[in-house]
């Protein structure tokens, strides 16, 4: 029982440790502005992680989320800036397209990894066609929202907590969230109870699309200009964030709060490594090492739990 609690607390512990280490290495980060600066890029990563989590909930994997976020940032910096209604229409159709991909994957029983890997090039291609080189402009309201100065508590922290709580409520506590997680746990049982697996998958993919769009817009608000390749790393960040947060690849076991915390941990780990003056060439490797350590810890805890 204690071990189960320990496993659930692990994402939060990891975050606390990385945060403490950052404060130790660079005490000046322990301030309103320090935290604001360090965590602002965690918001789009957290949104992309939540998008990934919806797909993982139904036992699929989305390898296209990074380029998708990039595409959204390009649309946001061009269409949405020049012609807001057309831009919104374009973003909405992207969400519908995501749902259609879910329908295709389910109806043809295709491996999601293959389909989304292919799609990642499609998204990147469209993005490059819209914006061949970085440029465009973020709509003012987006910029204003993302650089909003909250009193006392930095905005990124509030945003991350809000995202985590809303999704936690929807997926873990609402009656429809149960259906979504059940679809990952035992699809057969779900369809035997009269639910449509097709509709469930479409809904989850569309939610992933919605959060992908939000992530792209949040990122655009921070960078203020569009770039097709700005979020290529997000694919792996988002998967790592979900797993770091206590989720599992199959079986409908996910934790929205954990996923957001996982995303924060990854973003912080990046800053931490910069403060350690580790060259950017080694940063991905070092982040991977952090990931492996946390997952190894979790495996140890789970192993002990099964042994009893």
Partner 1 sequence: MWPTSSILLTTPRRWSRASENLTPDTIRLDGVEKSFGAVQALAGVDLVVAAGECLGLVGHNGAGKSTLMHVLSGNLSPSAGTIAVGGQTYERGWNAAVTQSQGVRCVFQELSLCPNLTVAENARIVHAALKGVGWKDRAARLIRDKLDEIFPGHGIDAADEIANLAIGKRQMAEIARAFTVTEGALRLVILDEPTSSLDAVTARQLLAYIRKETARGTSIILISHLLGEILSASDRIVVMKDGRKVADRLAAEFTRNSLVAAMGSEAREHRRGAVRKAAGDVLVSVQPEPDGGAPLEARRGEVIGLTGLAGHGQTRMLLRIFEGRGAEVKAASAFIAGDRQSDGVFNLWSIGRNITVRSLRALRGGGLIDLAAEARLSEVWKEKMAIRTTDTANNILTLSGGNQQKALFARALASDAAIILMDDPMRGVDIGTKQEVYAMIRAEAEKGRTFIWYTTEIEELTHCDRAYVFRNGPIVATLSALELTEEKVLEASFAEHAA
Contact 67, 121 (CB under 8 A): yes
Nearer to partner 1, 85 or 306 (CB): 306
Nearer to partner 1, 188 or 277 (CB): 188
- Nearest distance, CB of residue 193 and partner 1, angstroms: 5
- Nearest distance, CB of residue 200 and partner 1, angstroms: 11
Nearest to residue 21, comparing CAs of 42, 38, 9?
A: 38
| Cα atoms in the Cβ-side hemisphere of radius 13 Å centred on 143 | 10
What is the DSSP code string of 207-246? HHHHHHHHHHHHHHHHHSSB-TTTTTTHHHHHHHHHHHTT
- Nearest distance, CB of residue 179 and partner 1, angstroms: 7
- Nearest distance, CB of residue 184 and partner 1, angstroms: 7
The span from the CA of 250 to the CA of 287, in Å, is 24
Nearer to partner 1, 157 or 179 (CB): 179
- Nearest distance, CB of residue 130 and partner 1, angstroms: 40
Give the Å distances, CA to CA, from 205 to 90, 197, 256. 17, 12, 16
The span from the CA of 201 to the CA of 250, in Å, is 14
Nearer to partner 1, 117 or 172 (CB): 172
Nearest to residue 198, comparing CAs of 78, 268, 90, 109?
A: 109
Question: Phi/psi of residue 195, each to 5°?
Answer: -90, 150
Residues at the contact surface with partner 1, assessed by CB under 8 A: 173, 175-176, 178-179, 181-182, 184-186, 188-195, 251-253
Nearer to partner 1, 28 or 188 (CB): 188
How many residues are present in the chain? 308
- Nearest distance, CB of residue 178 and partner 1, angstroms: 5
Tokens 């090492």 belong to residue: 289
Nearer to partner 1, 134 or 251 (CB): 251
- Nearest distance, CB of residue 54 and partner 1, angstroms: 15
Radius of gyration, alpha carbons of the chain: 19
Nearer to partner 1, 108 or 307 (CB): 307
């Amino acid at each position: 029982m204690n071990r189960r609690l320990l496993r659930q607390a692990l994402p939060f512990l990891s975050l606390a440790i990385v945060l403490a280490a950052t404060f130790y290495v660079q005490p000046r980060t322990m301030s309103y502005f320090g935290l604001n600066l360090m965590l602002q890029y965690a918001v789009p990563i957290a949104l992309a992680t939540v998008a990934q989590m919806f797909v993982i909930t139904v036992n699929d994997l989305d390898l296209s989320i990074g380029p998708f976020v990039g595409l959204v940032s390009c649309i946001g910096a061009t269409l949405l800036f020049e012609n807001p209604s057309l831009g919104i229409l374009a973003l909405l159709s992207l969400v519908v397209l995501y749902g259609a991909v879910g329908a295709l994957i389910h109806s043809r029983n295709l491996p999601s990894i293959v389909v989304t890997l292919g799609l990642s090039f499609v998204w990147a291609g469209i993005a490059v066609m819209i914006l061949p080189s970085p440029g465009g402009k973020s709509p003012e309201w987006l910029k204003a929202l993302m650089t909003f100065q909250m009193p006392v508590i930095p905005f990124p922290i509030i945003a991350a907590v809000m995202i985590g709580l809303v999704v936690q409520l929807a997926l873990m506590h609402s009656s429809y969230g149960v259906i979504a997680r059940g679809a990952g746990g035992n699809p057969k049982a779900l369809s035997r109870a009269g639910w449509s697996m097709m509709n469930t998958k479409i809904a989850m993919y569309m939610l992933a699309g919605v959060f992908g769009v939000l992530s792209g817009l949040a990122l655009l608000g921070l960078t203020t200009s569009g770039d097709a390749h700005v979020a290529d790393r997000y694919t792996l960040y988002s998967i790592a964030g979900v797993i770091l947060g206590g989720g599992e690849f199959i079986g409908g076991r996910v934790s929205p709060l954990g996923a957001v915390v996982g995303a924060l941990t990854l973003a912080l780990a990046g800053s931490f490594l910069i403060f350690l003056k580790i060259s950017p060439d080694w940063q991905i490797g070092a982040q991977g090492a952090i990931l492996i350590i946390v997952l190894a810890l979790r495996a140890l805890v789970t192993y002990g739990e099964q042994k009893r």
